[in-house]
Each structure stands twice: as structure tokens, then as C-alpha cells.
């Protein structure tokens, strides 16, 4: 596993929450606003969050933005105009922080998404004024960050649970199933009589998470059951959790209980895949 992982994720958290200490080398900044230095940008169009992250030449985060938006569902662009509009706004906010114009980025797709849909994802970038210079599947992106040789990376996002099994550093099996953070929120909405938006907020509020744990535990167990079904026939000795939903305290313990396999939560799981996408640009 990446020996600098915990540092990298801590730094990413601080950049994504607005920290800004980076400045472009003035000698490499053209009057047109184009930067001649090396930077890497990545766009993750998720079911719940659209994320834009920019890294420096050493693949360390220097600026980023993320926004809740329902423009993509499980890898399929469901609101093209909305997605382009959102990304263009996020791009210009990030450019303001950086002091130069972003010209290209990489993006990603969940395994199993048809090629036509992958092209639609790339077209969102072009529409927002970014050359799409890299397309990568999400588990491989996550593993750019985690750098595991063997084990399963499980990405529990807003809409789906993606599973990728790695052997000797290569993906040997992938699956994607429709259970994710949205289901957590729906269960909370049902049991507390709140709207979906209120339930989302309750779910992410650390002061509510202990009280709500028994309510969402069955959904966590379902994620564990899904993992069990897909790792049948593979020698998986460790499970690595990524994706925003895995930030709910206790998720790693429940998955470990249901699967009987050591389960690791590597820091804040929300930005692992977006970081790995940027590394691909
Ligand atoms: N602290 C938190 N505790 C619990 N859930 C969280 C927390 N932070 C974010 N989430 C949930 O994580 C989900 C979003 O995660 P992520 O950004 O990985 O998904 P996505 O990439 O948008 O979706 P998908 O991969 O399914 O397309 C949302 O359901 C959100 O409510
Ligand atoms: Mg995702």
C-alpha cells in the first residue's frame, strides 16, 4: 500500500475544504493565462458529487472543488447540459484559486459502463472547455492512490457499490451493484420522517451518526453481503473501502463482521477516486 497515503489524504482534505497556499511559478505563467508548468487535473462525475481536483508536478493536491449534483447516475450522464454548466462553474472557481486557466483533465467511468456512455462523460469535459486527455476506470483510479497488489477495493458512492479484485497489481474482476449512500439516506428519511435532503444532512452530521447507526446498519450489512457474493472464488485477504459512504463511522467494522475479512478504511475515503483520476492526467 502507498506509504504516503495518510499524508496525501490529509492534505487533500485541507485543500478541498479551501486551504490555498500554492502559487504558480511566474516564469511559467504566460500572459494568455496558460501555465507551462506541470499540473494534473481530474474530474469525477459521480451520482452524488462532482469533484474537480488539481495536483502539482509531484502529484500533491493544490486546488479543488466539489459539489452535490444529480447530473450523472451510476456512470450515465442523465443531465448533459446541467453537468457541463456545473463543471464550467467549478473549473472557473478552481482557476481563480490557481491563477491560471485549466486546459485539460482526465475523467473516469465505473467498470461495465458502455463505450457510448464513456464518450458522453468525456464530452462533458469538452463542453466545459477541458481537453479530455485521459479516461480510466474508477477502481484503477482508486488504486493509483492506494497502490495495492492484492485484495479488493470496494467503492461505496452515492448510487452504487463497485467492487474490484486485484491480483499482483492488476484488476482481475469487477462488479457494480445499485446500493450506495442514497439508500442510507432513504432509510434515514423513512425512519425519521424527514425529506431526502434533511436525511442527507442528518447522515453526515457527526452528532447524529451514533443515534442513526441502528437504522442504517442493515444497509451496511447489505453492502457486506454484496461483497461476499462477488469475491466468491477469489483469494481476498484484505478489503479497502473508498467512496463517500464509507466515511460513516462503523462501516469498516460491519463490513469486516459480515465478510470475515480484514477491512481497512484508508483516511477520508471521499476523494480517493478523484485523486487517482487526476494522477491519470
Ligand atoms: N461523512 C459522511 N458520512 C456518511 N456518508 C457520507 C459522508 N460524506 C459523504 N457521504 C455520502 O457519500 C456519498 C457520495 O460519495 P461519492 O462522492 O464517493 O459518490 P459518487 O462518486 O458521487 O457516486 P457513485 O460513485 O455511486 O456514482 C453520498 O451518498 C454522501 O451522502
Ligand atoms: Mg464514485
CA of 273 to the centre of ligand 2 (A): 7
196 located within any domain? no
Confidence check: pLDDT of 111 > 90: no
Ligand 2 is an ion; its neighbours by CB within 5 Å are 46, 157
Beta strand 49-55 with 40-45 is antiparallel
What grid cell was written down for 104?
Answer: 485539460
Report the candidate in 167, 168, 115, 104 with the shortest Cα–Cα distance to residue 137. 115
Nearest protein Cα to ligand 1, atom 24: 157
Average pLDDT score over the chain:
96
Helix (H) or strand (E) holding 109: strand 104-109
- Tell me, what's the pLDDT at 84? 98
100 located within any domain? yes
The answer to whether the CB of 204 is under 6 A from ligand 1 is yes
- Tell me, what's the pLDDT at 248? 98
The answer to whether the CB of 276 is under 6 A from ligand 1 is no
223 located within any domain? no
Domain range enclosing 60:
5-142+272-279
The answer to whether the CB of 245 is under 6 A from ligand 1 is yes
- Tell me, what's the pLDDT at 67? 96
CA of 155 to the centre of ligand 1 (A): 10
What grid cell was written down for 226?
Answer: 454484496
Per-residue CA distances from 267 to 15, 110, 138, 229, 246 (Å): 15, 22, 18, 26, 10
For residues 13 and 274, the answer to whether their CB atoms sit within 8 Å is no
Ligand 1 atom showing the smallest separation from residue 162 Cα: 25
**Number of domains, the chain:** 1
Per-residue CA distances from 273 to 137, 242, 250 (Å): 10, 8, 21
101 located within any domain? yes
The answer to whether the CB of 166 is under 6 A from ligand 1 is no
The answer to whether the CB of 269 is under 6 A from ligand 1 is no
Chain-centre distance of CA 249, in angstroms?
18
For residues 181 and 228, the answer to whether their CB atoms sit within 8 Å is no
> pLDDT for 137-180, tens place per residue?
999 999 999 999 999 999 999 999 999 999 999 999 999 999 99
- Tell me, what's the pLDDT at 19? 87
Report the candidate in 280, 230, 228, 215 with the shortest Cα–Cα distance to residue 256. 228
Share above pLDDT 90 across residues of the chain, in percent, rounded to a whole number = 94
CA of 195 to the centre of ligand 2 (A): 23
Share above pLDDT 70 across residues of the chain, in percent, rounded to a whole number = 100
Per-residue CA distances from 180 to 89, 172, 253 (Å): 27, 23, 17
206 located within any domain? no
Q: Output the domain CATH number for residue 47.
A: 3.30.420.40
> pLDDT for 229-266, tens place per residue?
999 999 999 999 999 999 999 999 999 999 999 999 99
> Residue 84: which residues within 8 A CB-CB, separation 6 or more?
124, 127, 128
Amino acid at each position: 500500500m502507498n506509504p504516503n497515503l495518510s499524508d496525501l489524504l490529509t492534505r487533500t482534505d485541507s485543500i478541498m475544504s479551501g486551504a490555498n497556499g500554492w502559487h504558480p511559478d511566474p516564469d511559467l505563467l504566460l500572459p494568455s493565462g496558460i501555465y507551462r508548468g506541470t499540473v494534473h487535473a481530474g474530474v469525477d462525475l459521480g451520482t452524488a458529487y462532482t469533484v474537480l481536483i488539481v495536483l502539482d508536478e509531484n502529484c500533491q493536491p493544490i486546488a479543488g472543488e466539489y459539489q452535490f449534483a444529480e447530473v450523472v447516475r451510476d456512470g450515465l450522464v442523465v443531465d448533459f447540459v446541467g453537468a457541463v454548466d456545473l463543471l464550467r462553474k467549478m473549473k472557473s472557481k478552481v482557476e481563480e484559486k490557481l491563477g491560471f486557466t485549466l486546459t485539460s483533465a482526465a475523467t473516469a467511468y465505473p467498470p461495465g459502463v458502455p463505450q457510448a456512455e464513456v464518450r458522453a462523460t468525456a464530452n462533458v469535459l469538452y463542453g466545459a472547455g477541458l481537453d479530455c486527455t485521459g479516461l480510466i476506470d474508477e477502481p484503477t483510479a482508486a488504486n493509483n492512490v492506494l497502490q495495492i497488489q492484492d485484495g479488493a477495493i470496494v467503492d461505496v458512492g452515492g448510487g452504487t457499490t463497485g467492487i474490484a479484485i486485484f491480483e499482483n497489481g492488476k484488476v482481475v474482476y469487477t462488479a457494480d451493484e445499485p446500493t450506495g449512500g442514497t439508500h442510507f439516506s432513504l432509510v434515514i428519511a423513512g425512519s425519521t420522517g424527514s425529506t431526502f435532503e434533511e436525511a442527507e444532512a442528518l447522515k453526515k452530521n457527526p452528532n447524529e451518526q451514533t443515534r442513526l447507526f441502528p437504522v442504517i446498519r442493515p444497509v451496511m450489512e447489505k453492502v457486506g453481503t454484496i461483497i461476499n457474493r462477488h469475491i466468491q472464488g477469489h483469494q481476498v485477504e484484505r478489503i479497502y473501502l473508498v467512496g463517500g459512504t464509507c466515511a460513516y463511522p462503523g462501516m469498516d467494522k460491519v463490513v469486516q463482521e459480515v465478510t470475515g475479512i480484514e477491512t481497512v478504511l484508508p483516511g477520508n475515503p471521499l476523494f480517493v477516486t478523484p485523486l487517482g483520476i487526476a494522477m491519470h492526467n
